[in-house]
Structures are given as C-alpha cells and as structure tokens.
C-alpha cells in the first residue's frame, strides 16, 4: 500500500513539472552566452551556453513570471502560463544604456564626464589660466571657436560679434554679462567664477531650451551646496575683497564684497589712455542654497555693482582738442530657482530673474542715459520615460524695457526706447538607441510682442560611437532680437537669424581629450542701413536713418582641440586652433566683406604645473590671432587693409607659504608686444586729401597683478586657490 501511494505522488509530481528551453539573442540576432533565466521568486533557472541556448525544469504551475537578464542589457520580465508541458521561449534582449560608456551629444558643445555631461571648465580652470585674470570670458577665449578681440574682451564665436553670445545663470537669462569699459579697452565679465560649480560653453547647435543667441550659449551653474564655514580675505594690488560662507545642515549662504580702484596702479604704469579718474568699482555678490525635503532645492543668486571712470578723448587728427568723457554704471542682477524631483523619473524646475543696467554718459555738456530692465520667468518639466528615452518641455517669458535719453545744450532732449515681451515654448527629446547611438530632436517657438512675429526653430543632434571615439552631427536654427541701438530706432525690426550645421569627432581616453570640428553658419535678416551713405552713429547722436532686415552673411571653418592632464606629472595643458572664413553684408557695408572683429587663424596653448618642492602652481598661456580686416579710406576698395597679428605670452604663479595663505602673481604680455587691434580715421580729409589715422592699441603694454589671499576656517588646508 505504501509503495502504491509513493508511486502515485511520484507520478503527480512528474506530471506537474514543466521543461523550459529556448534561445537568448541580442538585437542583431547574435547568441548571448551567460544570460540568466529564472522563474521569479524561485530558485528554478539556468544560464545560456555559448550558442545562447538554455533548458531547465520547474515544478511551478499556473501564471508565473520569467526573468531574463544579462550584464549590459535591459532585464526582461515575461509572463508565462506553466501547464506541465515542454515550452519553447525565445528571447531578444535590448542593450542597456551605460552612463559611463554611452555616447553623448558633443557637436558644438564642450562636454565632460560629470553627471550633467556638459561642464568643461570649473572655477579652478578659469582662475589658473594665465592671461585670463580670473575672468570667465578670458579663459574661454583659449578654446577653439573663439576669436581674440583684445579691445573688447567679450566672447566672439565663429564669426559672430560680441552680442551674439548669451549668458545664463541656472538657466535664467542675463541681459548684460559684462562690465563697462572705456572705448577700445577690454571689459570683464560681471560674475566671479568661484560662485559657480561649472561652466558649460556651447559654440553652436545648443539645446532648444536656450534662445535669443545667434552664435553661442554660456551656461553658468551656481553651487548646490558649500559645506564649509569660512572667511576669505584678499589684499590686491588694485583693491581688496572679503568673502564669507556660512554652512548649516542642508544649506549654506555665501557673500562677497569687493572694492577695486585702478588709480594707484595706473599712476605707476604708463597708460595709452589719458585718464582723469581711472576705473573704480564696488561689487557685492551673494548666493543662498537650501534643500527642501529629500528631493527639493531652492537657490538664490544676486549681484550688484557700481562702476565709474572718466578720461580725455581727442578726435583723430586734432590731438590738441581734448574732450572729457565720464561714465557711471549701476548694475543689479538676481535670480531665484527651485528644483524638485518626483521619484526617479519626473523632475521640475522653475525660476525668475531680474536684470537692471544703467549707463550715464557725460561729455562736454552732452549726456546720454541708457537704461535696460528685464524679467525672465521660466518653468521646465523633465521625464525619463525609460532607460532609452528622456524628454523635457518648458515655457518662458522674457519681458524687457529699454530707453535712451540724450540731452544737449543746443538740441534739447531726445528719447528713444521700446518694450519687448517675448513668449517662448520649447520641447526636446533624447533617444538612446544603444550605447553607440543617441538622437536629440527639439523645437523652440517664440512670439515677439514688439514686432508681433512668431518664429519656429527646429534643432537636432545625433552622435554615433566609432571605436573609442564618437562622431556627432548637429543642426539648428537660432534667432535674436536686433541690438538695442537699432530697435530703439525701429521697433518693428524682425529678429536676426542663423542656421548652424556642425560635424564633430571627439575622443576622450586616459584623461586626454581630442576634438575636431567643422561647421557652417548662414545668417539672414541681419540689420542693414537703407541709405548707402549712412554711417554707424556715435554714442551721443540718436540714429534716425531707415533700417531694413535685408542683411546676410556666412561663417565656416574647422577647429582642433587637445587637452592632456596625464602625460606630464602634476601638469595640465591644452592646445586649440581655429580657422574661420566669414563675410557679411550688413549695417553700412556696401558689399559682402569680412567684419573687422574676425580673424582667420586663432591659436592658443595653455600650460599649468604644480611644483610641490616649492609649493607653487605656475601657468603660461600663449595666444595668437592673425590680422583682422579694416577699412582704410585712404585706399581703394572696402575692408582693404589688415592689422598685424596679435600675439601674447602671459604667466601666473601661486605660492602657498602655508595651507591657508596664497600669494598670487600674474602678468599679461610678458614680451611687451605692441598689439594693434585696428585703426581710427578722421571724419574729414586734410588739405592733401588724406584721412588722418590712429592705431587702436592696448591700454598698457602689460597688466601686472599681485594679491595675498587668506582663508580663516576650522578646517585646515582650505584656501582660495580654486577661486583666485
């Protein structure tokens, strides 16, 4: 009897068993050895062999779930119904996206291997680049795609002028990112690099989120947290500053006050400019960060400064006639942003920024007051649909007001201005087809309430992994409102537009980066003077000539970049080269020609080395730019002459006598080269029919800086080297 019962139970168990077998392949039909196949919540399963085949027996019955997994591929859960029979189940696994190995969009953008895939320069990179004097734009001017325009100091990118690069802080627009400067002297960026955790610089083909920039987007990301309470003191050859950071659990506050006065320095160094009162400025900046809950973050960033200087100007050909010019600039900027994650897949961020900039010019009884205010409101939602698809969409409003008020003794008061509300919506999707191929498609739509025009701008990028490197291709249409000088004359002017096509190859391996990039830009709807005899107006003369959107132009070229912080111990260096061919027919140009700010060849070498034996970091930067075209009225033709080449060798050194004290010295143009940026000509010819000329030179052969920086904190070894 017992034997019969045992046989019955044995037969029932055998009848309940199911044999599962099949083959596991990848998306290309190739067998996948080593894949694991299991019945969920059991120990029943097997692994595939070299041929991708598997087979195992399970005693489970009814509705179950089969789990198939393999390293580097997306795990698959497949519902099955086990009925005690043999079942054949073939499976195809999709390749998973590895954040460390997947291809990234790189055309037109400098990327790095951080979680955002886009930071190229940290504060330390900017502060320690010789010749940049801790100026963000100065450091970025050593990268390919930029042109060295020494009399401006702004970012001129791929044939675009200095107004075509737009700056954003935490995604919020900055209407004027540069401080005031005397005529034909370089300006500096308003924002201190130590306030930011990273800098993203795109020379074209950038995200649909960013608008109102024809050539380039510069995105600054403020720090999410600063965990150390500290006080920093700087004693400078041109002034002094003090900064304090207060940290607490899940939050921090940082503030800095700086006073700069160049009078003592310029009394020691001969200047090309005849100063009455050299530049003096007071600047305050602050940053607040507070985590909200486990997945929220509130940030505030603010900057306020006041600048003033006065000098004598002399008309070309009439050097005995001095005219006093005085400028007072008042600037305010602030933004507040909030970001919130909802689980692992949803993310929302929103912000508001306020801009205020006022220039008060006074010259020999004439005055000009320019004022621009602006508010930017933006909200963006992002979602990760899967490991292969991410999307974001947002809306924004940029509302700005501009006015110019002239006052002269004879002609009275003249006022020009405008109010421009600009609404925009954008959407963008990233599709990771595999670790080797990614696509991005986006569109941006804008409605300009000033000219009542609607614009739709598509943008697309793709990248394919080729061996250890990758190839990227990008296309985009971009638009930007005409400059304030022209909009205040004719508020109905259409936006200027540009199309970018970019082909890029990038290889990052063993702390070395190589990039090669070619591009083509097509400009349309540029502002053009209707009258062939009209000239660019001076600052103290309202422009009243008719304007058109009939200008056009192009820019094309290629660039090379190499960065290496591996081959030489304790050293980091990069080399960049850019070739540019560009022409424009716009403004007062009688025909298409190269604009005066464009140089065909730009070359930079940046080298940094830490010498541990003497506790010092030294750096050198060599910059070269070929001659730029300009118009000489004493010759036939247009844009008929060229300046000499620009060359500069700069150096800096930071010495650490102890971990909390730094002595920093820097010097630009060590060799004292007389760089000429162009020529000014008299408005009328002399008795011989010749127009007198004057070279536009550097304000001084060199700029020498010396500073002592002291850090007070409870943590030993913390100093200001990252924020010099």
Residue 262 shares a structural domain with residue 139: yes
Alpha carbons 113 and 117: distance in angstroms, whole number: 5
Residue 152 shares a structural domain with residue 16: no
Alpha carbons 424 and 721: distance in angstroms, whole number: 41
pLDDT in tens, 529-577: 988 776 777 777 788 889 999 999 999 999 999 999 889 988 999 999 9
Looking at the chain, the whole-number percentage of residues with pLDDT higher than 70 is: 91
Split at pLDDT 50, 70, 90, the class of 6 is: very low
Region of residue 671 (phi > 0: left; psi between -120 and 50: alpha; otherwise: beta): alpha
Residue 213 shares a structural domain with residue 266: yes
Split at pLDDT 50, 70, 90, the class of 7 is: very low
pLDDT of residue 525: 97
Split at pLDDT 50, 70, 90, the class of 73 is: confident
* Mean pLDDT within 145-156: 89
Alpha carbons 662 and 643: distance in angstroms, whole number: 40
Residue 290 shares a structural domain with residue 412: yes
Segment (H or E) for 10: helix 2-16
Alpha carbons 151 and 630: distance in angstroms, whole number: 14
CB within 8 A of 386, min separation 6: which ones? none
12-26, 507-521, 667-681: the lowest-pLDDT one: 12-26
Q: Under DSSP, is residue 700 helix (H, G, I), strand (E, B) or coil?
A: coil
Alpha carbons 606 and 496: distance in angstroms, whole number: 35
Does the residue 116 lie in any domain?
Answer: no
pLDDT of residue 108: 56
* Mean pLDDT within 257-272: 87
Q: Which of 204-213, 419-428, 462-471, 526-535 has the highest mean pLDDT?
A: 419-428
Indicate if the pLDDT at residue 469 is higher than 70.
yes
Alpha carbons 52 and 29: distance in angstroms, whole number: 10
- R_g of the chain computed on alpha carbons: 31
Residue 645: CATH number of its domain: 2.40.170.20
Are 202 and 191 in contact by the 8 Å Cβ rule? The answer is no
pLDDT of residue 299: 95
Bigger pLDDT: 78 vs 456: 456
Residue 199 shares a structural domain with residue 75: no
Alpha carbons 162 and 155: distance in angstroms, whole number: 5
Residue 13: CATH number of its domain: 2.60.40.1120
Residue 153 shares a structural domain with residue 75: no
pLDDT of residue 103: 54
22-31, 346-355, 674-683: the lowest-pLDDT one: 22-31
Integer CA distances (angstroms), 222 to 26, 145, 208, 298, in order: 43, 25, 21, 11
Split at pLDDT 50, 70, 90, the class of 3 is: very low
What is the per-residue burial (b if ≥16 Cβ within 10 Å, else e) of 315-349? eebeeeeeeebebbbebbbbbbbbbebeeeeebbb
- Tokens 């070269």 correspond to 624
CB within 8 A of 60, min separation 6: which ones? 18, 39, 42, 44, 82
Residue 293 shares a structural domain with residue 200: yes
* Mean pLDDT within 336-346: 91
Does the residue 107 lie in any domain?
Answer: no
Domain with 53, as residue range(s), is 2-92
Residue 196 shares a structural domain with residue 342: yes
Q: Which of 106-120, 189-203, 269-283 has the highest mean pLDDT?
A: 269-283
Residue 672 shares a structural domain with residue 605: yes
Alpha carbons 238 and 279: distance in angstroms, whole number: 10
pLDDT of residue 332: 97
3-state helix vs strand vs coil in the chain, percent to 5: 5, 55, 35
Are 216 and 199 in contact by the 8 Å Cβ rule? The answer is no
Does the residue 103 lie in any domain?
Answer: no
Does the residue 99 lie in any domain?
Answer: no
Query: Counting Cβ atoms within 10 Å, is residue 465 exposed (0-12), middle (13-18) or buried (19+)?
Result: middle
Does the residue 265 lie in any domain?
Answer: yes
Looking at the chain, the whole-number percentage of residues with pLDDT higher than 90 is: 50
Nearest partner of 362 among 176, 544, 152, 539, judged by Cα: 539
Residue 128 shares a structural domain with residue 88: no
73-77, 231-235, 341-345, 461-465: the lowest-pLDDT one: 73-77
pLDDT of residue 654: 87
Q: Give the number of other Cβ atoms within 10 Å of residue 489's Cβ.
A: 20
Alpha carbons 543 and 524: distance in angstroms, whole number: 23
Does the residue 106 lie in any domain?
Answer: no
Split at pLDDT 50, 70, 90, the class of 52 is: confident
Alpha carbons 250 and 12: distance in angstroms, whole number: 62
Tell me the whole-structure pTM to 2 decimals: 0.84
Residue 144 shares a structural domain with residue 84: no
Nearest partner of 473 among 435, 502, 437, 508, judged by Cα: 502
First-last CA distance in the chain: 93
Q: Which of 313-317, 414-418, 719-723 has the highest mean pLDDT?
A: 414-418
Residue 361 shares a structural domain with residue 428: yes
Does the residue 440 lie in any domain?
Answer: yes
pLDDT of residue 23: 92
Does the residue 115 lie in any domain?
Answer: no
* Mean pLDDT within 234-253: 90
pLDDT of residue 4: 39
* Mean pLDDT within 156-172: 93
Q: Domain boundary at 92, 115, 148, which?
A: 92
What is the per-residue burial (b if ≥16 Cβ within 10 Å, else e) of 429-461? ebbbbbbeebebbbbbbbebebbeeebebebbb
pLDDT in tens, 684-718: 898 889 999 999 998 888 888 888 888 887 765 55
3-12, 254-263, 527-536: the lowest-pLDDT one: 3-12
pLDDT of residue 116: 37
What one-character DSSP code corresponds to residue 131?
A: T
Domain count across the chain: 2
């Amino acid at each position: 009897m017992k034997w019969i019962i045992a046989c019955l139970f044995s037969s029932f168990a055998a009848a309940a068993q199911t044999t599962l077998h099949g083959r596991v392949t990848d998306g290309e039909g190739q067998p996948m050895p080593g894949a694991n196949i299991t019945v969920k919540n059991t120990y029943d399963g097997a692994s595939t062999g070299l041929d991708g085949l598997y087979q195992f027996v399970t005693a489970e019955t009814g509705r179950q779930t089969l789990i198939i997994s393999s390293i580097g591929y997306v795990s698959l859960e497949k519902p099955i119904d086990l009925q005690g029979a043999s079942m054949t189940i073939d499976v195809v696994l999709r390749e998973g996206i590895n954040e460390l190995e997947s291809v990234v969009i790189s055309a037109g953008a400098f990327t790095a291997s951080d979680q955002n895939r886009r930071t190229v320069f940290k504060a330390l990179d900017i502060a320690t680049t010789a010749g940049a004097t801790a100026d963000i734009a100065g450091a970025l001017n050593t990268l390919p795609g930029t042109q060295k325009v020494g009399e401006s100091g702004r970012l001129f990118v791929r044939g675009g002028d200095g107004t075509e690069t737009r700056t954003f802080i935490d995604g919020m627009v900055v209407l004027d990112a540069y401080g005031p400067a005397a005529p034909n002297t370089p300006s500096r960026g308003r924002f201190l690099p130590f306030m930011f955790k990273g800098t993203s610089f795109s020379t074209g083909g950038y995200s649909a989120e960013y608008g109102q920039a024809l050539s380039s987007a510069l995105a600054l990301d403020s720090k999410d947290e600063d965990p150390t309470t500290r006080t920093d003191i700087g004693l400078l050859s041109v002034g002094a500053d003090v900064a304090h950071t207060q940290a607490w659990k899940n939050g921090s506050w940082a503030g800095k006050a700086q006073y700069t006065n160049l009078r003592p320095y310029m009394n020691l160094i001969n200047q090309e400019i005849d100063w009455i009162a050299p530049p003096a400025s007071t600047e305050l900046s602050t940053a607040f960060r507070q985590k909200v809950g486990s997945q929220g973050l509130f940030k505030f960033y603010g900057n306020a400064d006041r600048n003033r200087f006065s000098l004598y100007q002399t008309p070309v050909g009439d050097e005995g006639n001095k005219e006093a010019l005085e400028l007072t600039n008042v600037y305010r900027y602030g933004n507040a942003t909030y970001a919130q994650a909802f689980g692992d897949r949803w993310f929302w961020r929103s912000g508001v920024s306020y801009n205020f900039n006022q220039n008060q010019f006074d010259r020999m009884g004439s005055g000009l007051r320019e004022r621009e205010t602006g508010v930017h409101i933006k909200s963006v939602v992002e979602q990760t649909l899967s490991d292969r698809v991410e999307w974001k969409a947002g809306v924004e409003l940029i509302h700005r007001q501009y006015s110019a008020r002239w006052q002269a003794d004879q002609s009275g008061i003249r006022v020009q201005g405008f109010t421009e509300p600009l609404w925009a919506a954008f959407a963008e999707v990233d599709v990771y087809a595999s670790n080797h191929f990614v696509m991005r498609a986006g569109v941006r739509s804008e409605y300009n309430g000033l000219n009542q025009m609607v614009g739709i701008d598509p943008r697309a990028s793709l990248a394919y992994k080729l061996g250890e490197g990758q190839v990227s291709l990008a296309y985009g249409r971009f638009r930007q409102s005409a400059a304030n000088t022209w909009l205040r004359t004719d508020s109905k002017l259409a936006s200027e537009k540009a199309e970018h096509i970019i082909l890029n190859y990038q290889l990052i391996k063993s702390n070395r980066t190589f990039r090669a990039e070619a591009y083509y830009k097509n400009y349309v709807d540029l502002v053009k003077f209707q009258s062939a005899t009209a000239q660019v107006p001076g600052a103290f003369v309202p422009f009243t000539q008719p304007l058109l959107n009939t200008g056009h132009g192009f820019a094309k070229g290629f660039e090379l970049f190499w960065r290496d912080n591996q081959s030489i111990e304790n050293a980091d260096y990069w080399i960049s080269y850019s070739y540019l061919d560009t022409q424009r027919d716009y403004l007062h140009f009688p025909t298409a020609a190269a604009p005066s700010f464009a140089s065909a060849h730009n070359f930079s070498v940046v080298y940094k080395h830490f010498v541990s034996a003497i506790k010092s970091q030294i750096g050198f930067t060599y910059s070269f730019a070929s001659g730029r075209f300009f118009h000489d009225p004493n010759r036939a033709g247009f844009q008929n002459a060229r300046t000499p080449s620009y060359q500069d060798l700069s150096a800096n050194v930071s010495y650490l006598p102890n971990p909390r004290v730094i002595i920093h010295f820097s010097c630009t143009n060590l060799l004292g080269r007389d760089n000429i940026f162009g020529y000014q000509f008299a408005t009328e010819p002399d008795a011989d029919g010749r127009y007198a000329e004057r070279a536009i030179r550097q304000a001084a052969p060199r700029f020498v800086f010396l500073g002592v920086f002291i850090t007070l904190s409870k943590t030993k070894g913390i100093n200001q080297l990252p924020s010099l």
